[in-house]
Structure 1
Amino acid sequence: MEPKFSAVLFDCDGVLVDSESITNSVLRQMLIEMGWDISVEECIRIFIGKALKDQWEPILEHTGVRIDDAWISSFRARRDAALRTDLQAIEGAVQAVEAIHEVYGEKIACVTGADRAKVEMQLELAGLTRFFGDRVFSGMECAKSKPAPDVYLAAASSLGIDPSHALVIEDTATGASAGIGAGATVFGFSNIGPTSTDPQKLRDAGVSRVFGAMSELPALAVQ
């Protein structure tokens, strides 16, 4: 088997680990405590796939509170406690990454819009750290996070590849836009879970194809 691309760049939340519903539940509870009676569906629609610090305006509008670094730190502490208790890998993700790692070696990376500490914790909990090593890239360490392409460009540069020859795996339109903006080929993962992006929305964002099970991915990434 040979690689089809120069590298495979994986988003983390919703692609490798089933974290979105856990994180969103913690956020929703904190917003309710602040007086915003937000539904599960609305919380998913507004916040999933986006950096929380960039979504301060709807929070201010509904609660009168301008979230700051201290508030975000409090959220992260509650979020991380919940993740340590409940996090699981996406079904088939460990096996898919292992198979791709066998072909691509160190030309794989985890490229996320989330904070590094969270992602590294999640990879460890899911048993994925051994495949990615230090090849973890956080959009929060770039000038702009997703949907800007900065973090994917940074990952490609670090791996020594042309981003237009990379395969990006994303589960949100925001993330897909970042990969496409970097010039990469983007495949959209949509497993029809409660926090999963509708396949058509991924297609509308410009992904090359949509797949619904991580077990499908190795065959799509090798030749």
Structure 2
Amino acid sequence: MNFEAILFDCDGVLVDSEPITHGVLRDQLAESGWDMPIDECMRHFIGRTVRSQAALIESRTGRPLTDEWMARFYARRDELLRAQLQPIDGALDAVRAAHAHTGGRIACASGADRGKLLLQLAKVGLTEWFGPHVFSGHDLPRSKPFPDVYLAAAQSVGIAPERCLVIEDTPTGVQAGVAAGATVWALRSSTGDAAALRDAGAAQLFDSMRELARLWRQKTPQAAL
């Protein structure tokens, strides 16, 4: 496990955005005619883009998923993220350690839209650590679970995907990292399913971002990381 670069997902790995984002989404879907508890909303949408679920939304609301609807969702979501977003416990230290251990060969690869991604990294003080190595699945031909965003991230840091470690928290994201050829470690969360993460191809599960430095020391040769 001689990893030469580390590629981080964002939502649920670096920032605690999922309850905020899905709370806004749940409320707006309820206004459109599809009322459900927040945990059900997260089961349907976590790790996926809203637009990728357009057919499901339209079948439940009886209305088209329009650009105007999406723009209203983004605006409401971003307002709350600016006001309430916090980093995942231990994430800032994990990113700093990864940057030091890899000589700066780290990237952020998210399925979220670029506006949200940049807002979130700036809000929690992570922008400087990733520099230009920030990638949104919305900017690529395919988003997660396809590998495009992780392939772009690996290319940006100049390391073959097979020599990269991906940090994820959803089965969809794990599938993307595995499809890219990387090794994937998955953070178990309160909304996560350990069996699903394993089935998606996660090589290692862990319970806190504070565990990462210890895991690297245990699982990599002395010369690595």
Q: TM-score range, shorter-chain basis?
A: over 0.9
Do 1:26 and 1:79's aligned partners in 2 also have CA atoms closer than 8 Å? yes
- Paired letter, 2:183: T
Q: CA deviation at 1:106?
A: 2.3
Do 2:98 and 2:104's aligned partners in 1 also have CA atoms closer than 8 Å? no
- Please show how residues 10-89 of structure 1 align to structure 2 within 5 Å: 10-89=8-87
The residue aligned with 2:210 is 215
Which stretches in structure 1 are left out of the alignment for 5+ residues? none
The residue aligned with 2:158 is 160
Q: CA deviation at 1:95?
A: 1.0
The residue aligned with 2:200 is 205
**1:123 & 1:4 partners in 2: Cα distance?**
27
Q: CA deviation at 1:220?
A: 2.5
Identity %: 52
1:60-83 CA deviation, whole Å, 9 max, x = no partner? 011111212221111111000010
The residue aligned with 1:97 is 95
- Paired letter, 1:20: E
Do 1:18 and 1:88's aligned partners in 2 also have CA atoms closer than 8 Å? yes
Q: CA deviation at 1:160?
A: 1.3
SS of residue matched to 2:152: helix
**2:197 & 2:109 partners in 1: Cα distance?**
18
User: TM-score under structure 1 normalisation?
Assistant: 0.94
SS of residue matched to 1:54: helix
Do 1:5 and 1:221's aligned partners in 2 also have CA atoms closer than 8 Å? no
SS of residue matched to 1:210: strand
Which stretches in structure 2 are left out of the alignment for 5+ residues? none
**1:17 & 1:42 partners in 2: Cα distance?**
21
Structure 1 stretches (4+) deviating beyond 4 angstroms?
none
* Correspondent of 1:128 among 126, 129, 135: 126
User: TM-score under structure 2 normalisation?
Assistant: 0.93
SS of residue matched to 1:109: strand
> CA RMSD for the aligned pairs?
1.2
1:71-100 CA deviation, whole Å, 9 max, x = no partner? 111111100001011100000111111111
How many residue pairs were aligned?
218
**1:131 & 1:24 partners in 2: Cα distance?**
27
SS of residue matched to 2:166: strand
**1:66 & 1:157 partners in 2: Cα distance?**
37
